[in-house]
Structure 1
Amino acid sequence: MKPRAFVPEKLDVAVFAREDGSLEGEWPAVTLQRLADSAAPEAPASGWPALRWSLRGEIRQPKGGKAQTWLHLRCHAEVALTCQRCLKPVTEALDIDRWIRFVESEAEAEALDADSEDDVLALPRHLDARELIEDELLLALPLVPRHETCPEPLAHVDDDEEADAELERPNPFAALAALKKSGGSA
């Protein structure tokens, strides 16, 4: 019997796991639109290396329990984000290595997810693995991307320069005080 061909954008997770299926591939980062939108303006996603991914399904049979459907997701991507210190592009490597358990209903997923360290999702009829991988990559993005050491020294304003600038700036309340003293007539 010929092995079944699985398509990542329309994956039947239950069958994939039952048949110990595995898939792997590469996608241009620009094809993951939400991830590409996070790119630094000077380093668009079209210049990023292709992201590599793999999926493997399996059925686990715990003692005294019912069979469990699992999906192992691995992904590697390199993205260029804007450093929040120097505002230049900073390359970040994102590595995902996650097991996801699938259960019959949203309620069961919610109950198990609260008590478990594992990721638990409701079993969909067809899973878009591309969307799942993009979600996982977005969750792996650093909250504040920055270089360990910025490539250019940061602009530094001396306290004296800052104080001088304050003195030169007119106080907006001084004009109001003058109006009050003159009786409010302009």
Structure 2
Amino acid sequence: MSYGPLPKRVDPRKLAEREVKIEGIAAVSAMPRLSSLLANESGEVQVSLLFALDEQRLRTVSGSASGSVMLTCQRCLEPVSVDVEAEVNLAMVLNEEQAKNLPRYYDPLIVEAEDVELLSLIEDELILSLPLVAYHEDCSIQTSFGDVDEAARTQEKKPNPFSVLAELKNKADKS
């Protein structure tokens, strides 16, 4: 087992044969694609990965990555802290054809070269776990036209323009 900063590159096939567990911390700033989606690059992610062989002798990577990142609140456009957690359940394959034949509970990890960038693998899973919309729970929305609740109350007070037609229909039904 390894704990500390994550290695940049690993040979997942060899690690799976030896059933190695890697635990460590990854800086969000070291993941450029993830950082581009965030309000800022601060934060760290705790990573725990187990490389192993399953019952079918498939080389697998399972584990999790979790941490807190700063996204932009879609209500007030200020930074908001969001907890993210990604579950990893991958099986190593050499090509797309082998990936099609994997059991449904595995996602494919195509290993063409000997080494794989570990941070890139974790980064992909974290990007998939980001919420579609981030917002503060207690965020008050102010629009240029006033409070949203006030606009909804005003909407309720307006008379229905089709109420005259409803009255005419009721009169016709009674006749």
| TM-score normalised by L of structure 1 | 0.68
- 1:53-68 equivalences under 5 Å are 53-62=47-56, 67-68=57-58
Q: Which of the residues 84, 109, 115 maps onto 1:121?
A: 109
Asked whether 1:92 is paired with 2:82, we answer yes
> Which of 96, 103, 115 is 1:106 aligned to?
96
Q: Counterpart in 1 of 2:72?
A: 82
Note the 1:1-186 alignment, pairs <5 A. 8-40=7-39, 44-45=40-41, 48-62=42-56, 67-109=57-99, 111-112=100-101, 116-124=104-112, 125-150=114-139, 152-155=140-143, 157=145
1:148, distance to aligned residue in structure 2 (A): 2.5
Query: Unaligned regions of 5+ residues in structure 1, if any?
Result: 1-6, 160-186
Q: How big is the shift at 1:87? A: 1.0
- Residue 26 of structure 1, CA deviation: 1.0
**Are the counterparts in 2 of residues 112 and 120 from structure 1 also a CA contact under 8 Å?**
no
Q: What's the offset of the Cα at 1:153?
A: 4.2
Give CA-to-partner distance per residue, 1:65-95, whole Å, 9 cap, x none. xx11111131112111111111111111111
Q: CA deviation at 1:57?
A: 0.7
Structure 2 residues not aligned, in runs of 5+: 1-5, 152-175
Distance in 1, matches of 2:116 and 2:73, equals 34
Runs of 4+ aligned structure 1 residues displaced above 4 Å come to: none
> Could you tell me which amino acid in structure 2 is paired with residue 136 of structure 1?
E
Deviations 1:88-133 (A, max 9, x none): 1111111112211112322111x136x6132122233211111111
Q: Which structure: greater strand fraction?
A: 2
Aligned length: 142
Code of the aligned partner of 2:125: E
- Equivalent pair of 1:28/1:49 in contact (CA under 8 Å): yes
Q: Kindly, what percent of the aligned residue pairs are identical? A: 28
Whole-Å separation in 1 of the counterparts to 2:65 and 2:93: 23
Aligned CA-pair RMSD? 2.2
Q: What residue identity is the alignment partner of 2:138?
A: T
Instruction: Name the aligned partner's letter for residue 48 of structure 2.
Output: S
Give distance in 2, aligned partners of 1:123 and 1:153: 47
Letter in 1 for 2:109: L
